Amino acid sequence: MESLNFIADQLHKPVIIVDRTLHVVCYNHASEICFQYNAEEVIGRSINILIPIEYHHSHNQLAKHFIDSNDPRAIAYKFTPNKLASLNIHDPNQQRVSYFLFQFYKYYLA
């Protein structure tokens, strides 16, 4: 994971990488600024720590669908404008999720 952390920290936009169980494995410096949690508080924990509690269920359903189907669409398109605003997302086109293989494991990048 060290090499992923190094690459993610070179980017100026928030980058969060989770495993199949939606536990954070990489969280860059821009994410720390955006979400106001430092990496030590987030890495190894459920991504739900970053999502308002009222959206945990719907987010988990969408994430599970994405993981099961590898559907290459933006998860944010499934949220209403009010939900997006509550997550501080102003442009759904900026919120993409994709997957990649690294050391024989599949990870998900947002």
Q: Which amino acid is at 100?
A: F
Tokens of 5: 């952390």
Whose structure tokens read 């719907």? 58
* Domain count within the chain: 1
pLDDT for the residue 74:
47
Kindly report the pTM of this predicted structure: 0.71
**Tally of CB atoms within 10 A around 32:** 17
Give the residue with greater pLDDT, 41 vs 13.
41
- Give yes or no for a contact between 52 and 27, defined as CB atoms under 8 angstroms apart: no
Please report which residue ranges of 2-108 form alpha helices under DSSP H: 2-9, 29-35, 39-42, 56-69, 81-86
pLDDT for the residue 25:
93
Q: Would you call 110 helix, strand, or coil by DSSP?
A: coil
Question: Most confidently modeled of 15-19, 58-62, 72-76?
Answer: 15-19
pLDDT for the residue 38:
94
pLDDT for the residue 13:
84
**Tally of CB atoms within 10 A around 79:** 20
Helix (H) / strand (E) element for 35: namely: helix 29-35
Residue span of the structural domain in which 59 resides: 2-109
Tell me, what CATH number does 89's domain have?
A: 3.30.450.20
Q: Would you call 90 helix, strand, or coil by DSSP?
A: coil
